[in-house]
């Protein structure tokens, strides 16, 4: 194992995902390697900075417009009764609710990101619509809307 492998373990340990033997190997290495110790300290500092990021409050009343479960059911039945136009609106709403809109275009990312992404060495098959797919599929060949 080289130092980069140990640094990967530092990150893994930080997430509580390192095995007992991995933790032990890492502990021994850190005792003798000042650079990896510095990296470990740096990640701890980063975690602190991340916790310190400001949290924004969503706009007041943002979710008030969403009908609760009961009103929601009532709305649906009213739409049902009041005819085609309203039914169409309900269809649109249901479409939104089920996330069933068509994803159009695929333009997430600059060429720098794509270089970074293509550098990743675990290319594999990811479910359609997954973050994995978004990560692994550069925008080439896709048109923006």
Interface residues with Zn ion (CB under 5 A) are 3, 33, 36
User: Which of other proteins, Zn ion, none does 3 bind, CB closer than 5 to 8 A by kind?
Assistant: Zn ion
Residue 6: count other Cβ atoms within 10 Å of its Cβ.
20
Torsion of CA 14, 16, 21, 23, to 10 degrees: 20
Burial 40-65 (b: 16+ CB within 10 A, else e): beeeeeeeeeeeeeeeeeeeeeeeee
User: Which of Zn ion, other proteins, none does 120 bind, CB closer than 5 to 8 A by kind?
Assistant: other proteins
Considering only residues 90 to 129 of the shown chain, the ones binding other proteins according to CB under 8 A are 93-94, 96-99, 101, 103-110, 113, 116-117, 120, 122, 124, 126-127, 129
23/133 with CB nearer other proteins: 133
User: Which of Zn ion, other proteins, none does 91 bind, CB closer than 5 to 8 A by kind?
Assistant: none
34/103 with CB nearer other proteins: 103
Question: Least separation, in Å, of the C-beta of 86 and other proteins?
Answer: 17
Q: How far is CA 76 from CA 58, 80, 82, 89, in A?
A: 27, 6, 10, 10
Q: How far is CA 59 from CA 17, 55, 63, 142, in A?
A: 36, 13, 9, 34
User: Which of Zn ion, other proteins, none does 60 bind, CB closer than 5 to 8 A by kind?
Assistant: none
Question: Least separation, in Å, of the C-beta of 19 and Zn ion?
Answer: 19
């Amino acid at each position: 194992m080289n130092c980069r492998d140990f640094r990967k373990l530092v990150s893994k340990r930080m997430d509580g995902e390192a095995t007992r033997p991995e933790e032990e190997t890492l502990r021994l290495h850190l005792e003798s390697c000042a650079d990896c110790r510095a990296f470990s300290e740096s990640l701890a500092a980063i975690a602190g900075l991340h916790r310190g990021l400001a949290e924004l409050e969503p706009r007041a009343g943002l979710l008030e417009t969403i009908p609760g479960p009961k009103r929601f059911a009532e709305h649906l039945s009213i739409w049902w009764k009041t005819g085609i136009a309203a039914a169409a609106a309900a269809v649109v709403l249901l479409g939104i609710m089920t996330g069933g809109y068509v994803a159009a275009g695929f333009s997430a990312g600059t060429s720098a990101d794509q270089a970074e992404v293509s550098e990743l060495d675990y290319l594999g098959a990811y479910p359609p619509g997954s973050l994995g797919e978004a990560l692994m599929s550069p925008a080439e060949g896709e048109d923006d809307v």
